[in-house]
Amino acid sequence: MAVVRRKIARSSRKTTVKKSPAGSRRKLVSRAPAPVREDRLLQTLQHALFKSLSYAEGEGRSPIGVAAVFVQSFLQLTKVHAIALYVRDEQTREMTCLAEAGGSDASVAGQWQAGLTQAEQQTRISLADLHGIRLHRIGRMDGVVMFQAGKSQRVSPRMALSLLTTIEPWLSVLLDHARLTVKYAAKILRIQHMEQVSDLLNSALGEQEKLRRALDAAIRLVEAEAGALFLGTSDGSLRLSAIGGERVAGLTALQSSVAAGVHRTGQAVLITQNAQDARLAAGQGWQAVLPVASLVSVPVRMGARAVGVLEVVNRRSGKPFSNWDVLELASLSNQFGLAIDNLRRGPVGEAGVKESLTP
């Protein structure tokens, strides 16, 4: 049976084959990005803040750590130009920048300092493109959060302010919690240092070694740069018995007019601002060895009688000493007095070797 084949002639005309999709094809339309929802921003910020509580001690659980987490999270979510968080120092009562993000050194710019001044009189800060709110602690102003609006900002300044106002109670509580955590850790460390001083003063070490090690522990207790123990002599003057601190290593002679006054009056002295105190003369005493910013000097007693002076200078953090430091050193000075009395009275250790302090 013959098979008829149809020859398909090739056409020079180009044909286009249209493929019809299985489903109906929708026309693609470019859409504007969905507006940022304030509640989602708030949830993200809250999550970041509470996550900081799970960090290891010293990383995120300090006030600086909490502040750093907050400013970084706020910057990433809102794309503001810059943000900074300040808290009031408990000793100096000055506003200190804990953390900032965005623009370089924004917190020290003149406009930001003007914002801090405005925060003392008003609950909200508004200076051109700078905005902010107060942070509160037990009903009083404890800090400030400020941000600078930018061109690429994802939210309006009004929404950013609203977000800050809503998150402020959470942020203030977490900062306070972090502050207490650091305080308790510092208290435990201070108790350990005080116990160490007591153990050293009651040990069987030799006189000078005992006093030197106990002085080093006292210096660590108040986080000082240097310290000295002066003992009274028969003519009423003071002589250097022990000195501690890296910056005064190798020093064998030191006089302190402040210590002499404390020994004479029996009253402790706290100096927090050297520039305003005439008792610290340039080139004399401690000032001849290192610049003194702050100083604590307390009498060492045996009963009611002053037998020497314990003195420390300059906190390593740069902050001034406080009345709390005076109380702690006064407590230690009593232990120094008891140890000195024991050294003068009787034998030390099982060998029965009597070491006495020669005034």
For the chain, give every domain's residue range. Answer: 38-182, 202-345
DSSP label at residue 348: B
15 band by pLDDT with thresholds 50, 70 and 90: very low
202-345: CATH class: alpha beta
Q: Measured on CA atoms in the order 304, 310, 311, 317, is the torsion positive or negative?
A: negative
Which residue from 152, 165, 176 is spatially nearest to 81, judged by alpha carbons? 152
Quick: pLDDT tens for 336-358.
Answer: 887 777 666 655 443 433 433 44
- In the block, tokens 């002066």 appear at 230
Helix (H) or strand (E) holding 264: helix 257-265
Query: CA 313: distance to chain centroid?
Result: 19
d(CA 243, CA 252): 8
* Separation in Å, CA 213 to CA 37, 201, 216, 321, 333: 61, 9, 5, 22, 14
Quick: pLDDT tens for 266-314.
Answer: 999 999 876 667 788 777 888 888 889 899 999 998 877 888 999 999 9
Mutual angle of helices 63-78 and 157-201, in 10-degree steps: 160
d(CA 184, CA 191): 11
Quick: pLDDT tens for 133-178.
Answer: 999 888 788 899 999 988 888 888 888 888 888 888 888 888 888 8
The answer to whether the CB of 308 falls within 8 A of the CB of 231 is yes
Fold annotation for 38-182: Beta-Lactamase (3.30.450)
Most distant CA pair in the chain: distance in Å? 146
Structure tokens at 66: 């909490």
Question: Which segment, 2-11, 186-195, 284-293, is predicted with the most confidence on average?
Answer: 284-293
**Around Cβ 90, how many Cβ atoms within 10 Å?**
11
Fold agreement (38-182, 202-345): yes
**Around Cβ 272, how many Cβ atoms within 10 Å?**
17
